[in-house]
Chains A and B, each alone.
Chain A
Amino acid sequence: MKSCESLFLTALESFHQGKQQEPVLSAAASGLGFDLLLDSEISSRLPIEEQLRARFAAGIRSRGLLAARSGRLIEAQQALKETKRIRQSNGLSAEAKLMIETFDEAVGAYVEYRQSDYSQARSRVYRAMAIDGELITNYGYDILDLHRVQLGHNLMRIDAHCGNMVEAAEMCASLLAYLEGDVEHWPLAEFLIQTNPSRLPPELLKAMFIQIVGELALMLGGRKGDEACRMFAAILPHVENRATANCRQFLRVHRWLEAKWAYINGEVIPFLEHIIELLRDGPGEMLLLWRVAAVDLRSLCYEVGSNRGARALREIDHECQAWSHVPPQLRRRLSFAEAV
């Protein structure tokens, strides 16, 4: 077995090798893959006039979402008022109305979330899920199953924001199992429908899997010990490869989960062993998870406090300062340690 010192050194070298590699923003991760598939299904089902109205509404909605993300909530509400007017206009089929409404409800939920009305946010997510169910069951829009998972991710975020970390982690575990093809794990019994995510393109499932584990990573932050163990308990079957029959389908993400579990338990050597390969392979399609692994290593360096640890700390620190688009939760971890 390698010594802790030598593993530190190897992990640091892996970090240096991995950071040279550009992250990959796949069409699936950008949402483009989903949009194209949905568009393809819509084009074969709705008349062109309805497709145009739906696209017109989508443009307004996406500008509304951008406004909401910047905190301009009245503008966002105005956008949703406009899309509501479109879907209530004469001549639209029930199918087209539902198609516009499900995405409106999802954005509406986000606006409520930004206004700290979490109960209303939840209701609107549920409403969107119900509409998705109808569109899948009655009209054959299988691709919307992925939208349902996205909505589940939104519920997870709401739970986390309300401090319900264990519930959020349970939601996370169920969604991951569902994405691995285990339909029984769908977390919301009232929105259970006859569908199978394995029919969806694997690259989209993988992108969603990475996105959800990314949310878990932000929830966990730098937590360790009992609190983190409680939060992580629901995820353990994934770490132990017993959650579903396809548990190691997304191998790299599983490696990250294993590393995180070791980190939470303060098992330095297993943690280092897990992240060496992860860091060396570069961010790839999981930029956020790669960065969190690097920040975990950085935290460990700080705790260890050896000369070697201090050097690694300085080198990772230098790199982290150049990162752009860092979520505030991760940025806080970086600035906290700086202050220390």
Chain B
Amino acid sequence: MKLSRYHAVSPSFLDERTGVFRRVVFPTRTAEARIVDEVVWLVLEAGEFDQLPREILLELAGLELLVPDDEDELTTLLQRNDAAAMDDDNLYLVIQPTAWCQLGCGYCGQEHTPKLMSEDDQLLVVERARKKLSAKPYKTLELSWFGAEPLAGLKVMRSLTPELLKLAEEFGVAYLGKVVTNGLTLSAQVATQLVRELCINSIEVTIDGTAKYHDARRYTKAGESTFERIYLNVIDLARRSDVNVNLTIRCNVDRRNYEGVSPLIKMLADAGIQDRISFYVAPIHSWGNDAHQESLSNEEFATWEIRWFAEMIELGFKPALLPKRRPIVCFAVSPNAELVDANGDLFNCTEVSYVPKYGRPNIYSIGSLKTGETPGKRAKLGDFNQRIARGEYQCHTCKMLPVCGGRCPKLWQEGIVPCPTPKFNIENRLLLKYAESRLS
């Protein structure tokens, strides 16, 4: 047996209860953390397994931290990922009901036009969903309403949802609804309608820090500030007990607003909603533009993120410290998932529609509602796992691949390294996880 290459380990720390130096070890193949004594770790690293008790060795073999000498770990992992994608029994559809957004965020790469999805295209959306549901047995139909700003296309959501619900019922699959919104028009009335009539069970709102930071970058196209309205909408929704919805707040961060994260965390905690929302911070990335030029470096972001996590834990949030197995990197590799934009164009990525830089026709388009899917087009992003296997990206040597999946096929293709923050701060995340477990 050998030590799996897919592992992370915390720095050594003194366990005050036992007076022994220990480490948290995290085999990423199974994403299950364990605490081991420092001496055990040193022996494991040295490969001198015969010096360790049998029980420890057996547990580590069960966790896939120890693997057979002849194991080709990358091949195994990619085969597992492919199997998970083929097995996926969730039909995931992303719909952009409109090409319009009220905001003019500086980092957005989209070009917005006041275009709503036509009635003809809506019919075609339902027909495509029906064909897909007929083709193989699914358990769920998951609808993600995405923008531009999806709530600017509420009319389309209202007319399409009943048809999609009917389909779900007809095929005996559960229906899941999600909306990713800027939150500007997420009034109490709209939220009620989303949850009760449009069967939305997950809402994600983006807030880029406190007013000072948010309003400097997330203003309307007419230049008006938006923080106050969005914030009040979110607080109001989080406090409601009459609607059952998972509410997530995402804070997009770069060099210009990272100092606004801590005050925002404090504000949300002061509002008493820390146990009613999920909150996470995401680095700004290229959206077909040079937005990433303003990003913090990976190392800088990773350091800040640990500080934000610690603040969140102290204030009663429950941040997701350790990544989970991610066999399906994104819907680009799911053979039946797709995004339909308001023009009726089809994509297998959320980051490419309405982006002028990708040309007309859009180089990432995989077809259209009217003509159907163009054979071979999906593979541009969909053959990501094969590309990793061929060694085209750094992922093939990365210990984090099992829990990251490769992060973003599109960015890799554009020559941008999209590695997620756990790659740069997993050691401290493990320490924090240990500290958190001691707190509870």
Interface residues of A (CB under 8 A from B): 39, 43, 48-49, 51-53, 55-56, 58-60, 63, 67, 71-75, 77-78, 81-82, 86, 89-90
CB-CB under 8 A from A72, the residues of chain B are: 84, 87, 89
From B59-67, B173-181, B283-291, B348-356, the one touching the partner chain is B59-67
Nearest CB on B from A110, distance (A): 16
Asked whether A59 lies within 8 Å of B84 as measured between CB atoms, the reply is no
Asked whether B50 lies within 8 Å of A56 as measured between CB atoms, the reply is no
Asked whether B68 lies within 8 Å of A53 as measured between CB atoms, the reply is yes
Asked whether A82 lies within 8 Å of B61 as measured between CB atoms, the reply is no
A23 CA to B83 CA, complexed, in Å: 38
Nearest CB on B from A85, distance (A): 8
CB-CB under 8 A from A56, the residues of chain B are: 1, 61-62, 64, 66-68
Residue from A39, A52, A58, A73 whose CB has the most chain B CB atoms within 10 Å: A52
Asked whether A52 lies within 8 Å of B66 as measured between CB atoms, the reply is yes
Nearest CB on A from B36, distance (A): 16
For A78, give its contact among B58, B83, B89 (CB under 8 Å). Answer: B83
Asked whether A51 lies within 8 Å of B83 as measured between CB atoms, the reply is no
* Majority secondary structure, B binding face: helix
A77 CA to B84 CA, complexed, in Å: 11
Given A51-B54, A59-B30, A71-B89: A78 and B80 interface contact (C-beta under 8 Å): yes
Given A72-B87, A72-B89, A74-B87: A52 and B80 interface contact (C-beta under 8 Å): no
Asked whether B61 lies within 8 Å of A75 as measured between CB atoms, the reply is no
* Majority secondary structure, A binding face: helix
Closest to B139 in A: A71
5 A-B pairs in the complex with CB atoms less than 8 angstroms apart: A53-B68, A56-B64, A56-B68, A59-B30, A72-B87
Nearest CB on A from B324, distance (A): 14
For B58, give its contact among A52, A63, A77 (CB under 8 Å). Answer: A52
Asked whether B58 lies within 8 Å of A51 as measured between CB atoms, the reply is yes
Asked whether A52 lies within 8 Å of B57 as measured between CB atoms, the reply is yes
For A43, give its contact among B54, B61, B62, B63 (CB under 8 Å). Answer: B54
CB-CB under 8 A from A48, the residues of chain B are: 50, 54, 57
Nearest CB on A from B77, distance (A): 11
Identify 4 new A-B residue pairs, CB closer than 8 A, beyond the known A51-B54, A71-B89.
A60-B64, A67-B87, A71-B139, A74-B86
CB-CB under 8 A from B67, the residues of chain A are: 56
Check: B120 CB closer than 8 A to any chain A CB.
no
Check: B187 CB closer than 8 A to any chain A CB.
no
Nearest CB on A from B70, distance (A): 6
A82 CA to B66 CA, complexed, in Å: 15
For A89, give its contact among B64, B68, B76 (CB under 8 Å). Answer: B68
Nearest CB on A from B225, distance (A): 47
CB-CB under 8 A from B1, the residues of chain A are: 49, 52-53, 56
Closest to B72 in A: A85
B window 39-78: CB within 8 A of A: 50, 54, 57-58, 61-64, 66-68, 70, 76
CB-CB under 8 A from A58, the residues of chain B are: 62
CB-CB under 8 A from B70, the residues of chain A are: 89-90
Check: B79 CB closer than 8 A to any chain A CB.
yes
For B83, give its contact among A49, A59, A77, A90 (CB under 8 Å). Answer: A77
Closest to B137 in A: A71
A43 CA to B139 CA, complexed, in Å: 43
CB-CB under 8 A from A39, the residues of chain B are: 58
CB-CB under 8 A from A67, the residues of chain B are: 87
Nearest CB on B from A183, distance (A): 33
Asked whether A59 lies within 8 Å of B68 as measured between CB atoms, the reply is no
Q: What are the nearest 4 A-B pairs in CB distance? A: A78-B83, A59-B62, A72-B87, A55-B61
A58 CA to B66 CA, complexed, in Å: 13
A8 CA to B296 CA, complexed, in Å: 73
A86 CA to B63 CA, complexed, in Å: 16
Nearest CB on B from A50, distance (A): 10
CB-CB under 8 A from B54, the residues of chain A are: 43, 48, 51
CB-CB under 8 A from B64, the residues of chain A are: 56, 59-60
A78 CA to B86 CA, complexed, in Å: 11
CB-CB under 8 A from B84, the residues of chain A are: 72, 75
CB-CB under 8 A from B89, the residues of chain A are: 71-72
CB-CB under 8 A from B63, the residues of chain A are: 59
Closest to A54 in B: B61
CB-CB under 8 A from B57, the residues of chain A are: 48, 52
Asked whether B66 lies within 8 Å of A74 as measured between CB atoms, the reply is no
Bitwise, B14-54 to A at CB < 8 A (1) or not (0) is 00000000000000001000000000000000000010001
A114 CA to B87 CA, complexed, in Å: 14
Asked whether B68 lies within 8 Å of A75 as measured between CB atoms, the reply is no
A104 CA to B30 CA, complexed, in Å: 20
A48 CA to B61 CA, complexed, in Å: 11
A90 CA to B68 CA, complexed, in Å: 11
Given A52-B1, A59-B30, A82-B76: A74 and B83 interface contact (C-beta under 8 Å): yes
Nearest CB on B from A45, distance (A): 13
B window 83-127: CB within 8 A of A: 83-84, 86-87, 89
CB-CB under 8 A from B30, the residues of chain A are: 59, 63
Closest to A92 in B: B68
A72 CA to B30 CA, complexed, in Å: 17
